[in-house]
Amino acid sequence: MISLHLDTWTLSDSQARLIDKLNGEKELAIVIWGEFKESAFNWITKKIPALDNISPMDCLNDENLINRLKVCLLRMP
């Protein structure tokens, strides 16, 4: 899925900030940026029903939750 979004990835200041917000998870940042662009910062703090109403930011400290976040992103149309 990451390869689908590499064409929109330029490592702009906003994209670098997103990587920082995601604790250095660059692959997640690339996919999230590809899906949401500047809205990514809002999306990562929202409670997501597909994640049982936790935010993507809440997933970052647990490997199982990171995997759930990745699955959630893969299932997005």
Domain range annotation of the chain: 2-74
Q: What confidence score (pLDDT) does residue 4 get? A: 66
Measure Cα distances from 21 to 31, 36, 75, 77 in Å.
14, 15, 22, 24
Give me the half-sphere count of Cα atoms (radius 13 Å) on the Cβ side of residue 77. 0
pTM: 0.87
Strand partners, 77: none
Residue 21 CB coordination number (10 Å)? 18
pLDDT over threshold 80, residue 2 = no
- Residue range 17-40: mean pLDDT, rounded: 95
* Model pLDDT for residues 37-74, shown as the tens digit of each residue: 999 999 999 999 999 999 999 999 999 999 999 999 98
46 secondary structure, DSSP code: S
- Residue range 2-25: mean pLDDT, rounded: 86
Compute the chain's Rg from CA coordinates: 11
